[in-house]
């Protein structure tokens, strides 16, 4: 048996959105992880950004992913520079005028907040896509 879990959305309209989330999570989750699992959009990683057709859902996932970092602005700049410098720690540390170990410590602090390690490819892609999707949401 496989189960798809929808995210919480308030109200009657929200119940319909939650049901749609659950259907998408179930469909994507089965394709990726097979049957006999519980699938949730928030835990499908990069597949959720690629496999979800609804742009609003992608924007909401991106906002959810970045929300823990909104309380840690000292981590955002190093993260942005890290990606701008092709994930090269030495170049990033030099541009930020900080020791490489300090940069490493700040990148380490992102993982417990978001559940994603910016040094791992799939996680880095999610973290990199999230601000872009969030900005798309602001312009619509």
What CATH number does the domain containing 87 carry? 1.10.10.2840
Residues 29, 80 within the same domain: no
Domain extent, residue 13, equals 3-44
CA distance 73 to 33: 35
Phi-psi region of 86 (alpha: psi -120 to 50; beta: other; left: phi over 0): left
Tell me the average pLDDT across 10-34: 90
pLDDT at residue 79 is higher than 90: yes
Band of the pLDDT at 48, cuts 50, 70, 90?
Answer: confident
Position 56 in a domain: no
Position 32 in a domain: yes
CA distance 26 to 39: 6
**How many domains, the chain?**
2
Are the C-beta atoms of 4 and 39 separated by less than 8 Å? Answer: yes
DSSP for 4-20 reads EEPPP--HHHHHHHHHH
CA distance 83 to 128: 7
Position 29 in a domain: yes
- Helix (H) or strand (E) holding 103, with range, is helix 100-114
Structure confidence by residue, pLDDT tens digits, 101-121: 999 999 999 999 999 999 999
pLDDT at residue 102 in the model: 96
Q: How many residues does the chain have?
A: 140
Tell me the average pLDDT across 21-48: 88
Are the C-beta atoms of 124 and 115 separated by less than 8 Å? Answer: no
pLDDT at residue 137 is higher than 80: no
What percentage of the chain exceeds 90 in pLDDT?
50
Half-sphere exposure of residue 26, counting CA atoms within 13 Å on the CB side?
13
Residues 86, 121 within the same domain: yes
Residues 83, 32 within the same domain: no
Position 58 in a domain: no
What is the sign, positive or negative, of the torsion defined by CA atoms of 117, 118, 123, 128?
A: positive
pLDDT at residue 98 is higher than 90: yes
Position 37 in a domain: yes
């Amino acid at each position: 048996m496989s189960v798809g879990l929808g995210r919480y959305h308030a109200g009657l309209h929200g119940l319909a959105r939650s049901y749609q989330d659950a259907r998408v999570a179930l469909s994507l989750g089965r394709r990726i992880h097979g049957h006999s699992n519980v699938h949730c959009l928030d835990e499908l990683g990069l597949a959720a950004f690629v496999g979800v057709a609804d742009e609003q859902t992608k924007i909401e996932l991106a906002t959810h992913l970045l929300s823990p970092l909104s309380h840690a602005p000292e981590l955002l700049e190093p993260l942005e520079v890290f990606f701008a410098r092709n994930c090269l720690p030495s170049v990033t540390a030099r541009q930020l005028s900080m020791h490489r170990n300090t940069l490493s410590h700040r990148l380490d602090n992102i993982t417990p907040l978001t559940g994603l390690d910016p040094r791992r490819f799939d996680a880095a892609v999610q973290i990199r896509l999230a601000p872009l999707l969030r900005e798309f949401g602001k312009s619509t």
